[in-house]
């Protein structure tokens, strides 16, 4: 399958910190949703920004329709920016506070010659309706809109250039849950109407399961595993994915399962562990994990994982973690150790 957007061995360094250390994956042509999942320090936002050419110069390749975009400049860069757009996480600062909504969107249209100043108004109103906003909003300032509405303006603005791919960087993390649901529904609708491909960056597994056909799981700047979302969540091939999945709180008691607890603290990117970056916290780690960096390889058809014991994880091996919390319908009893000499987890 040829990808719309292909990332090959991407590396982004902030000084000595290797925020992204060799990441590869592909986003097919739309309509398609690819989830990029990770916790803080995983580098997921950095990847999204690198794709739209923000941030420090990246090494490796980002291919859009087969052409490397990392070294584009001037007119070609501007051309590329019509095809791939980004929506940021923070609705409070995503729009210029001194410009009215209509002007903000119209500015994009005129910058790319899509519409002259006079015709822009009609197009702007169309775009607002596309994102389910009242066209009267053209005269309002951002501070007169709620967070969810501002995000929708940001989406409308991104759609104004007619992109083929969208990078959505935690688009709903900073807004209320009901507004969140509406934004997610909007993304679904926009994807179908415009045949969009999107890279949905988030820490929320439930969101990717609803919106993304495939998912890439990141840990400390590297890909832990990737594959079709459903399969990845039900039969993970990497211990981190399994731990992540088990940690997600569930509304329905029937779907709760034992939590795989991870030892230690989330790692620091300035001093990454040797061998597999996950090994200090991994319940399955063995000597080999400390010495040898696992290669991202195909463990099943369409499933890639970077783990020496991926086949065992895929096979459903039991995790003998130091603290496995028992599952139950009611909230489980917790444990507080009383003083004394206890093996500490950090």
Partner 1 sequence: MSLLEISDLRIRFGARPVVEMDRLEVDRAQVVGLAGESGSGKSMTTLAILGLAGTVGAHVEGSIQLDGQQLVDLPQRAMRDIRGRRVAIIFQSPAMAFNPVFRVGRVFLQALKLHGTQSQSDAEERAAAALRSVFLSPDLLHRYPSQLSGGQLQRISIAIALALRCDLLIADEPTSALDVTVQGDVLELLRGLRDQKEMGILFISHDLAVVAELCDHVAIMRAGRVVEAGPTDRVMAQPQDAYTRELLAAVPRIVVTGANS
Partner 2 sequence: MTDTAILAPSRLAVVRGHLRGNPLLLVGGIVATAIVLIALLAPLLAPYPADAVSATHPLSVLLPPSMSHWFGTDQVGRDILSRVLYGARVSPLIAVFVILISCVIGIPLGLAAGYFGGVIDEVIMRVTDVFLAFPALLLALAFAAVLPPSLTSTTLAIAIAWWPWYTRLLRGQAASVAGRPYVESCRTLGISRRRIIFRHILPNAITPLIVEISLDVGGVILTAAALSFLGLGAQDPTPDWGLMVSEGQSYFMTQWWLVTFPGLAILITALAFNLLGDGLRDVLDPKRVVKLL
Positions touching partner 2 (CB under 8 A) are 52-54, 78, 81-82, 85-86, 88, 90, 93-99, 107-108, 111-112, 137, 139-141, 143-146, 148-149, 154, 157-158, 160-161, 176, 178-179
Strands of the sheet containing 59-64, edge to edge, are 17-28, 3-14, 59-64, 67-68
Smaller CB distance to partner 2: residue 136 or 312?
A: 136
Nearer to partner 2, 151 or 229 (CB): 151
Task: Count Cβ neighbours within 10 Å for each residue of 62-100 and write b for 16 or more, e otherwise.
Answer: bbbeeeebeebeeeeeeebbebbbbbbbebeebbeeeeb
Task: From the list partner 1, partner 2, none, pick the one residue 74 interacts with, judged by a Cβ distance below 5 to 8 Å according to partner type.
Answer: none
Q: Does 326 bind partner 1 (CB under 8 A)?
A: no
Region near partner 1 per CB under 8 A, out of 58-66, 82-90, 174-182, 301-309: 174-182
When CB distances are held under 5 to 8 angstroms depending on the partner's kind, the choice from partner 1, partner 2, none that residue 276 binds is: none
- Smallest separation, CB 61 to partner 1 (Å): 28
Does residue 205 touch partner 1 according to CB under 8 A?
yes
**Considering CB distances under 5 to 8 angstroms, the limit depending on partner class, which of partner 1, partner 2, none binds residue 252?**
partner 1
- The CB-of-11 to partner 2 minimum distance in angstroms stands at 21
Asked if 212 is part of the footprint of partner 1 (rule: CB under 8 A), the reply reads yes
Residue 212 binding: pick among partner 1, partner 2, none (C-beta 5-8 Å cut-off by kind): partner 1
Contact partner at residue 289 from partner 1, partner 2, none, CB < 5 to 8 Å by partner kind? none
Q: Does 228 bind partner 1 (CB under 8 A)?
A: yes
Nearer to partner 1 by Cβ, of 184 and 305: the residue is: 184
**Residue 338 binds to partner 1 (criterion: CB under 8 A):** yes
Residues that bind partner 1 (CB under 8 A): 39-40, 176-178, 180-181, 184, 203-207, 209-210, 212-213, 228-231, 233-234, 243-245, 247-253, 255-256, 259, 261-262, 265-266, 323, 325, 329-340, 342, 344-346
């Amino acid at each position: 399958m040829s990808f719309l957007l292909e990332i090959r061995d991407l590396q982004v360094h902030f000084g000595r910190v290797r925020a992204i250390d060799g990441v590869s994956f592909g986003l097919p042509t739309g309509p398609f949703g690819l989830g990029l999942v990770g916790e803080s320090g995983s580098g997921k936002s950095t990847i999204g920004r690198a794709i739209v050419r923000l941030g420090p110069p990246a090494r490796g390749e980002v291919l859009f329709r087969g052409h490397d975009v990392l070294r584009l400049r001037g007119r070609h860069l501007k051309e590329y920016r019509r095809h791939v757009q980004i929506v940021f996480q923070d609705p409070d600062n995503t729009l210029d506070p001194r410009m009215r909504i209509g002007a903000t969107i119209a500015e994009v249209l005129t910058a790319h010659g899509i519409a002259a100043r006079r015709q822009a108004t009609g197009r702007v109103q169309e775009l607002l309706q596309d994102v389910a906003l009242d066209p009267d909003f053209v005269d309002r300032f951002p501070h007169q809109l709620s967070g969810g509405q501002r995000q929708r303006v940001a989406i409308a603005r991104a759609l104004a250039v007619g992109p083929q791919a969208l990078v959505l960087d935690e688009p709903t993390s900073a807004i209320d849950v009901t507004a969140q649901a509406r934004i997610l529904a909007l993304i679904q609708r926009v994807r179908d109407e415009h045949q969009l491909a999107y890279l949905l960056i988030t820490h929320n597994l439930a969101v990717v399961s609803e919106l993304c056909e495939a998912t890439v799981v990141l840990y400390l700047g590297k890909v832990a595993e990737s594959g079709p979302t459903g399969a990845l969540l039900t039969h993970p091939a990497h211990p981190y994915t399994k731990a992540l999945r088990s940690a997600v709180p569930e509304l329905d008691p029937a779907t709760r399962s034992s939590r795989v607890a991870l030892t230690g603290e989330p790692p620091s990117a300035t001093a990454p562990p040797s061998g597999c970056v996950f090994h200090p916290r991994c319940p399955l780690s063995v000597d080999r994990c400390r010495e040898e960096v696992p290669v991202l390889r195909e463990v099943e058809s369409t499933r890639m994982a970077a783990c020496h014991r991926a086949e065992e994880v895929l096979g459903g091996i039991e995790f003998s973690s130091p603290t496995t919390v028992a599952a139950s319908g009611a909230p489980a009893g917790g444990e507080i150790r009383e003083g004394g000499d206890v093996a500490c987890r950090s």
